[in-house]
Amino acid sequence: MARSVPTGFVACPSLLVAQKAARQYQHRHHPSAAAGVFDGALRSYSTRPAEADFQHVRPKVTITTLRKLYKRKEPITVMTAHDFPTGTLVDKAGIEMTLVGDSLAMVALGYNSTTDITMDEMLHHCRAVARGTRSSFLVADMPFGSYETNPDQAVNNAVRMLKEGKAEAVKLEGGKEMAPTILRLTQVGIPVLGHIGLTPQRQASLGGFKVQGKTVAKAKAMIEDALALQKAGCYAIVLEAVPEQVATHITNILSIPTIGIGAGAGCSGQVLVQQDLLGLYGHVPRFCKTYRSLAEDIIGALREYSADVKSRAFPAEEHCYPMPQVELDKFMLLTEGYKNEQQQNVSAPQAAASAGERA
């Protein structure tokens, strides 16, 4: 394929400082053109910052927003996110609540259990999601070991989650035994999303990932847990892996929203793990609906890329940067000079060696 520049020549200068200065100048003096100029410059840079040109097409979701949705019986949408891109996508999709769940331990970090993730890791991922979130209400899971010891420990770590992680609320697992801790958190102004039913951080003591509340006794205990969490000040409660009838009854007797995951359609809202919804892994729980099978599409795209590179079909001419013809002519003369000089450097020792042999 014909190319306008020699193979291997790539015009890719560092643009970081220039981009920042140009963007600041454009926003001050030509705000309407700023985005276009900046985006044009970024096309020359391979590791450009991810898209962050958020348009505030909807108001910021707050706890007041969630309460209004609940009062008019409009289902609340919740979705997990674990980094800047997934957070941005959830926000742009119009989801009301974004959850930085400790499930990221398994779906994003490759751990065997949610209990493996640390507080520092959760903070790192929460900050990334926060940078991609403008409208959605941002909630972060309190990781295992960060809140169980006593209420003071929970407050200290929850404050870190809000200050360092940029979350707006925290989620913690447990029933009425956690009510004193939740009460302490809410008393100091930290919004808490409760979580009962199947609590993955305690799955070892529950005998694995099993449906909870299948007997009358366990259903009664779950109702007591829900009422205790509501009294402690939770703004909403997640019900996970609970029979639909039990979850619906709990929803009906509470005066705060319930967010179901494997708990039927009677809850005030629903949450899923984003990777399950998108079909990025083979196995998904029974309660999850897979809306896309992106793993197949992604693997297919990566294989096509690999094949194109091997066959030299990529990069094509449209993926390369041209040089002005005048500069290209000068460059070709320069390369010819280098080529002649290299040939002379090679031929001189050879000539000397031949002369020595003749002598």
Give the tens place of pLDDT for each residue, 76-131: 999 999 999 999 999 999 999 999 999 999 999 999 999 999 999 999 999 999 99
Residue 77 lies in a domain: yes
DSSP H or E segment with residue 79: strand 76-80
Same domain, 138 and 255: yes
List of residues 6+ apart from 56 with CB closer than 8 A: 134, 135
Say whether 240 is catalytic: yes
Query: Strand 192-197 and strand 169-171: pairing?
Result: parallel
- The pair of three-digit structure tokens given for residue 176, joined into one six-digit string: 């009425």
Q: Give the pLDDT of residue 350.
A: 60
Q: Which of these three, 238, 257, 272, is where a domain ends?
A: 272
Residues 40 and 76 in one domain: no
Q: 31 and 173 in one domain? A: no
Q: Is residue 337 part of a domain?
A: no
Instruction: Give pTM, 2 decimals.
Output: 0.80
Q: What is the pLDDT of residue 10?
A: 37
206: in domain: yes
Token pair for 214: 């299948």
Inside any domain, residue 20: yes
- C-alpha to C-alpha distance for 89 and 121, rounded to whole angstroms: 21
The backbone torsions φ and ψ at residue 13, rounded to the nearest 5 degrees and listed phi first, read -70, 160
Distance CA 96, CA 253 (A): 23
Are residues 253 and 185 part of one domain? yes
Pairwise CA distance, residues 203 & 62, whole Å:
31
Residues 28 and 138 in one domain: no
Residue 93 maps to which CATH number?
3.20.20.60
Q: What are the residues facing 171 on neighbouring strands? A: 141, 193
Q: CA angle, 152 as apex, 133 and 159 as ends, to 5°? A: 20
With respect to residue 81, please indicate whether it lies within any of the assigned structural domains: yes
- 40 with 118, same domain: the answer is no
Asked if 10 and 323 count as a contact pair (C-beta separation under 8 A), the reply is: no
> Helices H, strands E: what count in the chain?
14, 8
Are 29 and 153 contained in the same domain?
no
Own/partner long-range contacts of 330-336 (Cβ < 8 Å, ≥24 apart): 331/6, 331/9, 332/6, 335/6
Among candidate residues 92, 179, 192, 108, the one with its CA nearest the CA of residue 142: 192
3 state DSSP class of 349: helix
Q: How far apart are CA 101 and CA 125, in angstroms?
A: 10
Q: Which residues contact 11 (CB under 8 A, 6 or more apart)?
A: 44, 321, 323
- The tens place of each residue's pLDDT in the chain, 359 residues long, gives 433 333 333 333 333 333 444 444 444 444 444 444 334 444 555 555 565 555 656 899 999 999 999 999 999 999 999 999 999 999 999 999 999 999 999 999 999 999 999 999 999 999 999 999 999 999 999 999 999 999 999 999 999 999 999 999 999 999 999 999 999 999 999 999 999 999 877 655 555 556 878 999 999 999 999 999 999 999 999 999 999 999 999 999 999 999 999 999 999 999 999 999 999 998 888 889 999 999 999 999 999 999 999 999 999 999 999 999 999 999 999 998 777 777 777 665 665 556 556 55
Distance of alpha carbon 125 from alpha carbon 269, whole angstroms? 24
SS3 238: strand
- Answer whether residue 135 is part of any domain: yes
Residue 179 and residue 221 in one domain: yes
> Number of structural domains, the chain?
2
If asked whether residues 146 and 258 sit together in one domain, one would say yes
- Domain end among 247, 272, 297: 272
Specify whether 117 is located in the same domain as 153: yes
Q: Look at the alpha carbons of 59, 263, 288, 110 in this order and tell me if their dihedral is positive or negative.
A: positive
Q: Are residues 79 and 30 in the same domain?
A: no
Is 322 among the domain residues?
no
Q: Report the pLDDT value the prediction gives residue 338, as an integer from 0 to 100.
A: 79
Q: Is 263 within a domain?
A: yes
Q: Which residues of 116-137 are buried (b: 16+ CB within 10 A; e: fewer)?
A: ebebebbbebbbbbbebbbbbb
Label each residue of 284-338 as H, E or C.
Answer: CCCCCCCCCCHHHHHHHHHHHHHHHHHCCCCCCHHHCCCCCHHHHHHHHHHHHHH
Are 30 and 132 part of one and the same domain? no
CB-based contacts of 31: which residues, under 8 Å, 6+ apart? none
Supply the range of the domain harboring residue 181: 63-272
Count CB atoms within 10 A of the CB of residue 37: 16
DSSP three-state, residue 153: helix
Pairwise CA distance, residues 23 & 277, whole Å: 37
Q: Which of 240, 317, 318, 341 is catalytic?
A: 240
The vertex-193 CA angle with 188 and 197, nearest 5°, equals: 135
